[in-house]
Structure 1
Amino acid sequence: MSLELTAPERAIAAGDRGAGAAMAMRILAEMGRLLGAPRLIPVASAHIDGALYHGDSGVHFAERLVAGGAKTAIPASLNVGGLDLIHPGTVKADPHRHEMALRLMQAYEAMGCWQTWTCSPYHAGHRPTLGSDVAWGESNAVAFCNSVLGARTNRYGDFLDICCAITGRAPYYGLHRPENRRATLRVDTSALSARLKRADVFYPVLGCWYGMEIGTEIGVIDGLPADISEDCLKALAASAASSGAVGLFHVAGRTPEAPSVEAAGGGEAPARVIRLTPAMLQTARDRLSTARGQGIDAVALGSPHFSLAEFDALEALLPGGRVNIPFFVCTGRNVVGALEEQGRLGKFAEAGITIVADTCVVVAPILPAKGGVLMTNSGKFAHYAPANTGYEVIYGSLADCIASAATGRLARDESLWQ
């Protein structure tokens, strides 16, 4: 299939908006052809993952766009960068990495991107409307955008995301097409206890299982509470996207395109059913832990970035005194600002908790270099931390993490899983 550009798109590719926009349009058109898209479509916004430093080539690419006068044509929020610009001493990068990470962040700012620096842009006010087409990067954000907000995006990776933002276009394929968003299978959760399905620790585990089992197929999860919080759905999305490249899931009675199982399937019942059992979940939970001992050397929360509601829950669980091991909570600068306005930052500092903004402990050198065992309540951290940080991982609930941080020894409530 040959992709056809419109006359205005051809004009951009020919240089009418400058060399940077021309390069972005040519890249986007060629990628669209490779993906089999018949055309490009307008998109309302973008979320940019390409501003995270992975090597010098990404910096040179962004700076070439800037030199060509490229500017975003649509609102574009920024995912995490390689530095904490609010707390400069948090990231322990060597001089070259620090310089290049900063240059990369500055290049994206120069192109007009919104300086959110968060993997939870939906907490920072970037919430596309139901049915709108957008171009988002960052796996958890993509899954949340499709599944919880009901906007339409594929997983736009580095550096296709910024090309979409500059041109205001995206290839018409994949999850932009309504027929590709219909559920073809149903996940039946009726065998699980109501208490488990109301626990925060459940949703990353469900996401881990879902990603491994379902992969890129579209499923509808049936039997979950209708009042699941956005933070629980966020945790499900992040874990599913990490373990199985999930871009869209439906939750019957909760997510926008699934008021019912039949609606999720486009008016038809899904062709197959998977009955989820406690044993299947237990296996998925165990996969989120790579360490088997009792010692804990650090705790990290906030992947995706912590919301204000999650800080409320953390504060309510804090014991008197300080935690006894390094304890990090990653969040967006918008949440840091809200905590500061509410006069709450001091309480977390007094408890020995380090709040990280603009980045996170898995993509930047923040954790103590000695290594060891990291405990987390994040399915995404559990998935990526061993390879990215050198730490082995133990997964538990928010309450488990706080209890373990008080002693440096594993404390985990097993009753929910029995």
Structure 2
Amino acid sequence: MPLELTAEQEAVAGSRRGEGAAMAMRIVAATARLMGAPSLIPIASAHIDGALYHGDSGTLFAEKLVEGGANVVVRATLNVGSIDLTGCSKNRLPPHERDMARRMMEAYRKLGCEPSWTCAPYQAGHRPAFGSDVAWGESNAVVFCNSVLGARTNRYGDFLDIACAVSGYAPYYGFHRSENRRGTVVFDVSALDSKFLASEVAFPILGSLYGREIGGAVGVVVGIDNHPGEDALKAFGAAAASAGAVGLFHVAGVTPEAPDLDTALQSQPPDMTIHVTDEMVADSRSRLSTVAKTDRLDAIAVGSPHLSAAEFNRLEQLIAGRRLSTPFYACTGRHALAALEANGSRQRLEESGVVIVVDTCVVVTPIIPDVAGGVLMTNSGKFAHYAPGNTGYGVLYGSMAECVESAVAGRPLFGAMA
């Protein structure tokens, strides 16, 4: 079916709102044609992943939109950039790259985007209404938006996300359509020990397993008796979206489109049921570490997705005023930083040796020092997936408690309140 644009959409593409908006509308329309979408749909908001510097072309693209007079016409929050503009942490970008990264972040601000600089906008007040159509980028934000909030978005990539925000439209395909949100695979964790499911390591481990097993399909998790909390669902979705092409998951009895299994399956039989075993969990946990047992520990990083205020409370309780022997990086957004400053936690954490990283994170910009054969410990399934390639460090995966106890001891320790 050929794409049909409305008279208003055709007019915008023809420069009624200026050259910047025309370019954005043409990008959205071209994408819709490639995806076989019959039409464009209005969106309620956007989350922009394209402000992270990957090369000069991204900066020049954003500045071209600005020069064309473009402005976003819906609420548009910004994902992490390449620079901590708050000055909490410092990076090692060379002068040219640092300048271009700063120019890029400024260009998106000029387009009218909110300088939120977080990969967890849903915990910074950007929570689209259930059933609303949006255009979000950043894999964990997309999967949380679809799964936990029940808003509707595809995995919008760099430049398409801002084009949707400027035009106000997105292609009508994929997860915007109800039939494509049906669960097709059952991911059954009912055989697992309830103590494991209640532990803080469970959801990153299960999310990583889910992503590898399911890929881009829509799965329904069954066997979770109680709501695990937003931070657990955040960790699950981030790990799943890193290990696979996951954009939407359901948890029966927990997430809004899955009051029960039958509803999530839209009353159709699943294509497959995966019965998760203890052996599968053990294998998934082992895969999150890329180095064998070692006494070496060069850095610890948490906060991918960005730490929430509740997670910072947990971190501070675990540290309990002790001094950390290993560099400890805690990545977060300005929303959480404001809370830390208001209650005095920032000062206490920094006095213990925590480096708070704001506006960005340690796997997308060079903050952690270059160390040959370095070993990084993390409680994040997403960090565990990306850190080896992005930082050059080998990874050890552990709970938040294990990360803290290891930081105090200066060597990897496991078994601490996992």
Q: Give the conservation status (yes or no) of the 8 Å contact 1:262–1:270.
A: no
* CA drift at 1:89: 5.2
Is the partner of 1:321 in helix, strand or coil? coil
Q: Are residues 1:388 and 2:382 paired? A: no
Q: Give the conservation status (yes or no) of the 8 Å contact 2:146–2:247.
A: yes
CA deviation map 1:153-188 (0-9, x unaligned): 000000100000001100000111000001112111
Is the partner of 2:268 in helix, strand or coil? coil
1:357 is matched with 358
Instruction: Sort the Cα spacing of 1:192 and 1:289 in 2 relative to 1 into closer, same or farther, 3 A.
Output: same
2:330 is matched with 329
Q: Are residues 1:212 and 2:212 paired? A: yes
* CA drift at 1:270: 2.4
1:231 is matched with 231
Q: Supply the AA of the counterpart residue of 1:360.
A: C
CA distance in 1, matches of 2:409, 2:375: 14
Q: Supply the AA of the counterpart residue of 2:325.
A: N
CA deviation map 1:66-92 (0-9, x unaligned): 000000010000000000000165112
Q: Give the conservation status (yes or no) of the 8 Å contact 2:401–2:417.
A: no
Is the partner of 1:85 in helix, strand or coil? coil
* CA drift at 1:268: 3.2
* CA drift at 1:269: 4.2
CA distance in 1, matches of 2:299, 2:88: 21
Instruction: Sort the Cα spacing of 1:186 and 1:341 in 2 relative to 1 into closer, same or farther, 3 A.
Output: same
2:26 is matched with 26
1:374 is matched with 376
Q: Supply the AA of the counterpart residue of 2:390.
A: N
Q: Give the conservation status (yes or no) of the 8 Å contact 1:375–1:393.
A: yes
Q: Give the conservation status (yes or no) of the 8 Å contact 1:253–1:260.
A: yes
CA deviation map 1:259-283 (0-9, x unaligned): 1010101133424311100100111
2:80 is matched with 80
1:141 is matched with 141
CA distance in 2, matches of 1:272, 1:56: 45
Q: Give the conservation status (yes or no) of the 8 Å contact 2:297–2:375.
A: yes
* CA drift at 1:361: 0.1
1:312 is matched with 313
Is the partner of 2:302 in helix, strand or coil? strand
Is the partner of 2:329 in helix, strand or coil? strand
User: Structure 1: where are the runs of 5+ without partners?
Assistant: none
* CA drift at 1:320: 4.0
* CA drift at 1:107: 0.3
CA distance in 2, matches of 1:42, 1:390: 42
CA distance in 2, matches of 1:18, 1:56: 24
1:270 is matched with 270
CA distance in 2, matches of 1:89, 1:177: 42
Is the partner of 2:131 in helix, strand or coil? coil
Q: Supply the AA of the counterpart residue of 2:186.
A: R
2:344 is matched with 343
Structure 1-normalised TM-score? 0.98
Q: Supply the AA of the counterpart residue of 1:384.
A: Y
Is the partner of 2:305 in helix, strand or coil? strand
* CA drift at 1:348: 0.1
Q: Give the conservation status (yes or no) of the 8 Å contact 2:47–2:135.
A: yes
Pairing 1:135-214 to 2, within 5 Å after superposition: 135-214=135-214
Q: Give the conservation status (yes or no) of the 8 Å contact 2:88–2:357.
A: no
Instruction: Sort the Cα spacing of 1:223 and 1:89 in 2 relative to 1 into closer, same or farther, 3 A.
Output: closer
Q: Give the conservation status (yes or no) of the 8 Å contact 1:185–1:220.
A: yes
Instruction: Sort the Cα spacing of 1:341 and 1:414 in 2 relative to 1 into closer, same or farther, 3 A.
Output: closer
More moved, 337-346 vs 232-241: 337-346
Q: Give the conservation status (yes or no) of the 8 Å contact 2:316–2:345.
A: no
Q: Which structure 1 residue ranges, 4+ long, deviate > 3 Å from structure 2?
A: none
More moved, 383-392 vs 363-372: 363-372
Instruction: Sort the Cα spacing of 1:147 and 1:10 in 2 relative to 1 into closer, same or farther, 3 A.
Output: same
CA deviation map 1:335-362 (0-9, x unaligned): 1011111122111011100000000000
1:51 is matched with 51
Is the partner of 1:83 in helix, strand or coil? coil
What is the CA RMSD across the aligned residues, in angstroms?
A: 1.2
2:303 is matched with 302
CA distance in 1, matches of 2:368, 2:210: 29
Instruction: Sort the Cα spacing of 1:211 and 1:13 in 2 relative to 1 into closer, same or farther, 3 A.
Output: same
Q: Supply the AA of the counterpart residue of 2:56.
A: D
Q: Give the conservation status (yes or no) of the 8 Å contact 1:137–1:155.
A: yes
CA distance in 2, matches of 1:144, 1:88: 27
1:411 is matched with 413
Q: Give the conservation status (yes or no) of the 8 Å contact 1:45–1:74.
A: yes
Q: Supply the AA of the counterpart residue of 1:135.
A: A
Is the partner of 1:302 in helix, strand or coil? strand
* CA drift at 1:222: 0.3
Is the partner of 1:328 in helix, strand or coil? strand
Q: Supply the AA of the counterpart residue of 1:18.
A: G
1:132 is matched with 132
2:108 is matched with 108
1:95 is matched with 95
Instruction: Sort the Cα spacing of 1:111 and 1:139 in 2 relative to 1 into closer, same or farther, 3 A.
Output: same
1:60 is matched with 60
User: Structure 2: where are the runs of 5+ without partners?
Assistant: none
CA distance in 2, matches of 1:131, 1:384: 31
CA distance in 2, matches of 1:294, 1:191: 34
Instruction: Name the count of aligned residue pairs.
Output: 416
